[in-house]
Amino acid sequence: MLWILKYFFEIVRTGIFLLVTGCRGPSGFGSASTAEEVTEGIDASGLTVIVTGGASGLGLETARVLALRGAHVIIAARNLRAAEDAKNSILEQCRTANVDVLKLDLCSIQSVRSFVESFKALDLPLNILINNAGVMFCPFQLSEDGIEAQFATNHIGHFLLTELLLDKMKYTARVTGIEGRIVNLSSLAHAHTYKNGIEFDKINDQRSYEDKKAYGQSKLANILHANELSRRLKEEGANITVNSVHPGLIMTDLMRHSVTLMSKLN
């Protein structure tokens, strides 16, 4: 009986209880709160936001609500048809929304570089970068650059994207006086990775590959990236905050490689 009580209090302590029940925390919001509720009363007009993976799932909802609040949203997506459909669905709900679409395949270093060039050619400011896109639990495969796909997409692609856009964000924050925001979508899965955490020497080792642990190490990398970049920007005095966030367990296309899990949760 004692171990049951200890387990229950550990769940409460780690916040999983709040996550599962939807109970509101100190902020007044909980896992059951919607994006519209959280952003109610916020005027984002004049802000430019890039949302990777903004064509579906959490990315689409993020793009939709930010556009609803007046932000100029750039949907960065690999599937341009899906991205255009997402843009049109947002415009149907809010005719005044300002949404653009640019191609971005995070699994390709060349695509990341091309996206940044295309964005800079628009001559827009950049206030917020939301690194949302990702793949999960996929079978072993290498990117065109020879990097394991989950690590390439979830971490390397976003790391490079952030690095290439950082000067633009610093400049925007400096000339506007508005604090810049970088958000990495991570996961509680960061705690369920390989024994040694990130296996840098075995990223591309198919023999030791485990899809769930590989996903976990990519999410751990997202958090470490956010923490270190935040430290460096603070030390530099740049007016930009960097955070990683666990978005909760939501049934989106991210689950497409986990049929068993989907059947249990549906």
Q: How far apart are CA 159 and CA 226, in angstroms?
A: 9
Catalytic residue among 171, 194, 209, 215: 209
Domain parsing of the chain, residue ranges: 45-265
Q: How far apart are CA 110 and CA 132, in angstroms?
A: 19
Which pTM does this prediction carry? 0.86
**Which CATH homologous superfamily contains domain 45-265?**
NAD(P)-binding Rossmann-like Domain (3.40.50.720)
For the segment 56-98, what is each residue's pLDDT rounded down to a tens digit?
999 999 999 999 999 999 999 999 999 999 999 999 999 999 9
So what's the pLDDT on residue 22? Answer: 64
For the segment 130-174, what is each residue's pLDDT rounded down to a tens digit?
999 999 999 999 999 999 999 999 999 999 999 999 999 999 999
Q: How far apart are CA 146 and CA 152, in angstroms?
A: 9
Mark whether 215 is an active-site residue: no
Considering only residues 231 and 259, tell me which one the structure prediction assigns the higher pLDDT: 231
The mean pLDDT of the chain is 88
Percent of the chain at pLDDT exceeding 70: 85
Angle among Cα 263, 265, 266 to the nearest 5 degrees reads 65
